[in-house]
Amino acid sequence: MLTTIRSACLIICSFFVFQANAQQFLDPEKAFPVQVAWTHAQELTLKFQPEPGYYIYRDSLKLKSQDQVIDLKLPKGLVKFDENFDKHLETYP
């Protein structure tokens, strides 16, 4: 099950953003390392710690299990203006 979740996390990482030259991209596994742990019988904790210069859009975080979208409890992120989307977005550095 954790392998499936980690695979899903790597797919999610494909929606993350990097703030640097395209020639400096890290592999998603290195740019967005994830720790997965069961905290309760029905609760799973995913902890992302992006490398410096990388960040995650809050709106891009989604988790599915057997075609069912799972509600995520997320901490408040940092709001920043993103020139690519020409609007303010909540991010996790």
Whether the pLDDT of residue 11 is over 70: the answer is no
Residue 5 vs residue 20, higher pLDDT: 5
Chain-centroid distance of CA 71 in Å reads: 14
Bigger pLDDT: 5 or 76? Answer: 76
Neighbours of 56 (CB within 10 A): 22
**Whether the predicted model's global pTM rises above the 0.85 cut:** no
Per-residue pLDDT averaged across 7-36, rounded?
Answer: 69
> Does the structure show a pLDDT above 90 at 76?
yes
Alpha helix ranges (H) inside 14-88: 28-31
**CA 76, CA 47: separation in Å to the nearest integer?**
14
- The Cα-based distances of 29 to 21, 33, 41, 49, 59 in angstroms read 18, 6, 27, 11, 20
Decide if pLDDT at 24 tops 80.
no
> Residue type for 6, please?
R
3-class SS of residue 63:
strand
Which two tokens mark 62?
């989604």
The arithmetic mean of pLDDT across residues 69-86, rounded, is 90
